[in-house]
Amino acid sequence: MTFVGMVQAVIWSPFCGRFPTVFQGINAAISYIAPPITVVFVAGIFWKGASSTASIVTLVTGSILGLSVFVIDFTKILKRFKEAYPTFDFLTFMMISFILATVCGVVMVVTSFLYPEPLTEEKGKLVWKSPLEPLREKGWPGIGNYKLLSAILATTIICLYVIFTFFVH
């Protein structure tokens, strides 16, 4: 597995120069890949009307759109477009990710209405009845309790924010 990762890194490394930094290239790639996955996950948890057909259509459509936008960004077409039309300068990778997520959400909803599926008992167990439902469950004991881990994570994020905002200049 390590060898496969090394081969991928060697193949990918010449292309990293197309972005200002490697970090920006990784962020752009992730932000173009994540929207369809996120939309399907969130819809699957919170919406009983989400269908498996809509999930597949959303994943395929979103992946094609995300890959297309990544290629447009990677080949500097997007940069030249924003230089030619400054009105579209707001199209950063995060904004494009939001637009892709919105499009994927529309695809998910429309396709779910076009190809509805009955809510079986098995599927019904996977959909939350309310956003507070997970907080009502007991969870694992000790350090495996997700409530404890969430509190530790939130405290860590707040502490790091305070440290880097007020003490690191």
For residues 96, 98, 104 and 109, what is the CA-based torsion angle, rounded to 10 degrees? -150
CB count in 10 Å sphere of residue 74: 16
Task: Name, in order, each residue with C-beta under 8 angstroms of 10's C-beta and a sequence gap of 6 or more.
Answer: none
**What pLDDT does 120 receive?**
84
Where the chain has pLDDT below 70, the residues are: 12-18, 169
Q: Phi and psi dihedrals of 120, rounded to 5?
A: -75, 165
pLDDT for residue 37: 97
Give me the amino acid identity at 131: P
